[in-house]
A = this chain, B = another copy of it.
Amino acid sequence: MELKADIKWDDQGLVPAIVQDARTGQVLMLAYMNHEALERSTSTGEAHFWSRSRSELWHKGATSGNTQRILEIRYDCDGDALLLLVEPRGPACHTGEQSCFYRRLWGKGDE
């Protein structure tokens, strides 16, 4: 896939990938991809990431069954971030929440 050349990998060979539910628009999670994760993602159509904590390729949902079918991958103006539009087969978060962003840090009115 030639377009990978347009991606600016960081000094660890990673690029952050935002995962969004293609149907609802809900932002589900932020994870990281290396070359191999992007290759596996595009060849299988299922989201693969690089697990920074385990230092290994991570097929999202391989254990839980909550895989993510990728409909589209977009990249930003700087080429240093990806946006995956997916159909999730279950909750994205290991806590069982649909999205990993289930907690509010601040809301208008808190200031």
Contact = CB atoms under 8 A, between A and B. Distances in A.
A34 to B, nearest CB: 15
Place the interface of chain A in its size category: 35 or more
A30 interface: yes
A30 B42 CA distance: 22
A95 to B, nearest CB: 6
B71 A100 contact: no
B104 A27 contact: no
Contacts of A111: 42-43, 45
Interface of A: 1, 3, 6-7, 16, 18, 20, 24-27, 29-30, 42-43, 45, 70-78, 81-83, 93-95, 97, 100-108, 110-111
